[in-house]
């Protein structure tokens, strides 16, 4: 690449969108080669081991090429897109060079045929080579400028034009010498111009990366496709057109529907006994983290069943409170507040284990994690400094956290630095569970389904709102007494939410 080309084309590398991440999968491209982009415009969405993240481009210009197709896992630091930051430079150079080329051709037309032939070759030989992009799976290819110059003679009949110019030059020279040109041999019939694809069939056909991927998926040989795009570029329609005739000429025999498109319930009926699902992205990271946590931190889980009828009444009262207007009020909000108050009463629970230094790191802040199920797997974003938030602020933070997680827009920063977590398995109708600690945290609270159950209240059996809480904690940090007092405090607050005032 020349110095001018290196200044013209800017390459954007896969960034480390999280702390210590080494790779990311390209989920979707929002731009294609030829599209104009501006500084700060989102060009693609990638999924790391922690979240899906949109990447903005830091340049203004025109997309030159996309180095990797969608679905490819790319190492951090690899170039994923190239942008032409001076798209007008090539057209200006071409327009400035056109008159000179025409004048040169006119002068050479009066010279000997050999000189004309040499002159006709000079533009292709002297033209500077453009950058040679490396496309995944295809190796290094010549720049589009040089390739199109070689392709043009086949479609435009350049050899015929050169012979005509040579004959005209001979005729002019004969007239200047005072005699008519000698009779020439009968003209040799010239075959009609053949499509450009025939001239380049031995070379790599011109097509953008998405079109190549489409052709690969459909099993189409690009060398057999007739291009209709500008400058002989194969388009998506060309690929589909190449598939259509084959489909009509040889109809496929009746067969079951493709396995991936069939509903899960029908897979057994189709004779499918197993389905393999690649483990990557968030699910892969979660699996590794859970294995590490389960076999590193000694887990202890305790349970308590509690009557939370008063808490449910408080939730209904808060929904009609003017200070809580527009906020999402649910039992999880009160449970989160109860946990924060219990942490204040039992600060030893909010800690982490430093294996290298063999120290317990006491946290004087609470980054409250909320486990959220998303289409890409379970993630645990956290509310920073939740201990310092008022009830309305906590309600707003919870609502935003859940909304962002469902949209798949949670950032890696939002999932880092958690100190203690709540997982609400009750939304699935589950009574309780033995949750595994989020790595680096000391405790996790599982909240079960809230159900009407017979309960002894004031000496009588009544139908009350009851739930079961399950607390898992790291026994290196939290012993049985501390863990039990912490869980009992949460239950006591939910049983009588007035303690939020007296204890908080």
Distance of CA 486 to the CA centre of its chain: 41
Domain boundary residue, one of 36, 65, 86: 86
User: Does 307 fall in a domain?
Assistant: yes
Average pLDDT over all residues of the chain: 76
Query: Which pLDDT belongs to residue 271?
Result: 76
pLDDT tens track for 177-231: 444 444 444 554 544 444 444 443 446 678 776 677 777 777 788 888 888 887 7
* 329-338, 375-384, 447-456: range with lowest mean pLDDT: 375-384
C-alpha–C-alpha distance, residues 187 and 190, integer Å:
9
Answer yes or no: is 206 within a domain: no
pLDDT digits (tens, 9 = 90+) for 227-256: 888 778 888 788 777 776 554 444 444 444
Where residue 32 sits, what CATH number does that domain have? 2.40.50.100
Q: d(Cα 504, Cα 494) in Å, to the nearest integer? A: 13
Q: How many domains does the chain have?
A: 2
Choosing from 179, 387, 457, 475, the catalytic residue is 475
Mean pLDDT for 289-315 is 88
> CA dihedral defined by 333, 336, 342, 348, rounded to 10 degrees?
-160
Cα separation of 245 and 256, whole Å?
Answer: 23
User: Domain containing 323 — which CATH number?
Assistant: 3.30.559.10
Q: Which of 86, 118, 149 is the last residue of a domain?
A: 86
Q: What is the DSSP string of 268-301?
A: TTTT---------HHHHHHHHHHHHHHTTS-EEE
Last residue of a domain, one of 58, 86, 114: 86
Q: What is the pTM of this model?
A: 0.54
Alpha carbon distance 229, 275 (integer Å): 40
Comparing 150-159, 231-240, 304-313, which segment has the lowest mean pLDDT?
Answer: 150-159
384 within domain boundaries: yes
Q: Indicate if the pLDDT at residue 503 is higher than 90.
A: yes
Q: Within 13 A of 309's CA, how many CA atoms are on the CB side?
A: 11
% of the chain residues with pLDDT over 90:
38
Min mean pLDDT across 16-25, 97-106, 142-151, 263-272 is at 142-151
Host H or E run for residue 422: strand 420-424
Q: Are 84 and 38 in contact (CB under 8 A)?
A: no
Domain region containing 351:
282-502
For position 203, what pLDDT does the model report? Answer: 60
Summarize the confidence of residues 14-43 as an average pLDDT.
84
Stretch among 72-86, 155-169, 224-238 having the lowest mean pLDDT = 155-169
Would the pLDDT of 133 be above 50?
no
- The confidence score (pLDDT) of residue 30 equals 92
Is it the case that residue 417 has pLDDT exceeding 70?
A: yes
pLDDT at 230: 78
Residue 103: per-residue pLDDT: 47
Predicted pLDDT of residue 335 = 97
Region 141-159 average pLDDT: 44
pLDDT tens, 452-489?
Answer: 999 999 999 999 999 999 999 999 999 999 999 999 99
Q: How confident is the model at residue 20 (pLDDT cuts 50, 70, 90)?
A: low
Identify the pLDDT of residue 199: 40
SS3 assignment, position 196 = helix
Q: Is residue 424 part of a domain?
A: yes
| Complete DSSP assignment for 423-490 | EEGGGGT-----PPPPTT-SEEEEE---EEEEEEETTEEEEEEEEEEEEEEETTT--HHHHHHHHHHH
Bridge partners, 446 (sequence order): 423, 470
Identify the bridge partners of residue 454 per DSSP, sorted by sequence position. Answer: 463
Q: Is residue 214 part of a domain?
A: no
CB burial string 325-352: b at 16+ within 10 A, e below: eebebebbbbbbbbbbbbbeebebbbbb
Q: Which residue has the tokens 């007239």?
A: 175
Catalytic annotation present for 179: no
């Amino acid at each position: 690449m020349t110095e001018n080309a290196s200044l013209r084309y800017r390459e954007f590398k896969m960034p480390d969108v999280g702390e210590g991440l080494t790779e990311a999968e390209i989920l979707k491209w929002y731009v294609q080669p030829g599209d104009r982009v501006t500084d700060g415009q989102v060009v693609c969405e990638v999924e790391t081991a922690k979240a899906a993240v949109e990447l903005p481009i830091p340049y203004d210009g025109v997309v030159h090429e996309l180095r990797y197709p969608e679905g490819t896992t790319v190492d951090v630091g690899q170039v994923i897109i190239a942008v032409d930051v001076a798209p007008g430079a090539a057209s200006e150079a071409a327009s400035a060079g056109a008159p000179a080329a025409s004048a040169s051709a006119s002068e050479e037309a009066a010279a000997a045929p050999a000189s004309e032939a040499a002159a006709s070759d000079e533009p292709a030989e002297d033209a500077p080579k453009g950058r040679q992009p490396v496309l995944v799976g295809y190796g290094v290819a010549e720049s589009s400028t040089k390739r199109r110059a070689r392709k043009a003679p086949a479609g435009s009949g350049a050899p015929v034009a050169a012979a005509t110019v040579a004959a005209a030059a001979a005729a002019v020279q004969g007239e200047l010498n005072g005699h008519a040109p000698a009779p020439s041999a009968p003209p040799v019939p010239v075959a009609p111009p053949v499509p450009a694809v025939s001239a380049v069939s031995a070379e790599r056909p011109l097509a953008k990366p998405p079109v190549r991927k489409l052709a690969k998926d459909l099993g189409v040989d690009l060398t057999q496709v007739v291009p209709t795009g500008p400058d002989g570029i194969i388009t998506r329609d060309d690929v589909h057109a190449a598939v259509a005739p084959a489909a009509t000429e040889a109809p496929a025999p009746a067969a079951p529907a493709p396995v991936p498109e069939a509903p899960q319930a029908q897979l057994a009926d189709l004779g499918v006994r197993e389905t393999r699902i690649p483990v990557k992205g968030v699910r892969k990271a979660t699996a590794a983290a859970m294995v590490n946590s389960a076999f590193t931190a000694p887990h202890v889980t305790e349970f308590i069943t509690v009557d939370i009828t008063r808490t449910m009444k408080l939730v209904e009262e808060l929904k009609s409170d003017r200070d809580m207007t527009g906020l999402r009020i649910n039992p999880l909000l009160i449970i989160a507040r109860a946990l924060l108050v219990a942490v204040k009463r039992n600060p030893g629970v909010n800690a982490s284990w430093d294996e290298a230094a063999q120290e317990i790191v006491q946290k004087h802040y609470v980054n409250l994690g909320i486990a959220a199920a998303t289409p890409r797997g379970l993630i645990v974003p956290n509310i920073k400094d939740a201990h310092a938030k008022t009830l309305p602020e906590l309600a707003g933070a919870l609502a935003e956290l859940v909304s962002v997680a469902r949209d798949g827009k949670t950032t890696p920063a939002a999932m880092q630095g958690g100190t203690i977590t709540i997982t609400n398995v009750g939304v699935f109708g589950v009574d309780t569970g033995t949750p595994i600690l989020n790595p680096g945290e000391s405790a996790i609270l599982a909240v079960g389904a809230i159900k009407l159950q017979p309960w002894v209240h004031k000496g009588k059996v009544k139908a009350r709102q009851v739930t079961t809480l399950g607390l898992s904690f790291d026994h290196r940090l939290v012993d049985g007494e501390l863990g039990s007092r912490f869980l009992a405090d949460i239950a006591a607050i939910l049983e009588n939410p007035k303690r939020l005032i007296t204890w908080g």
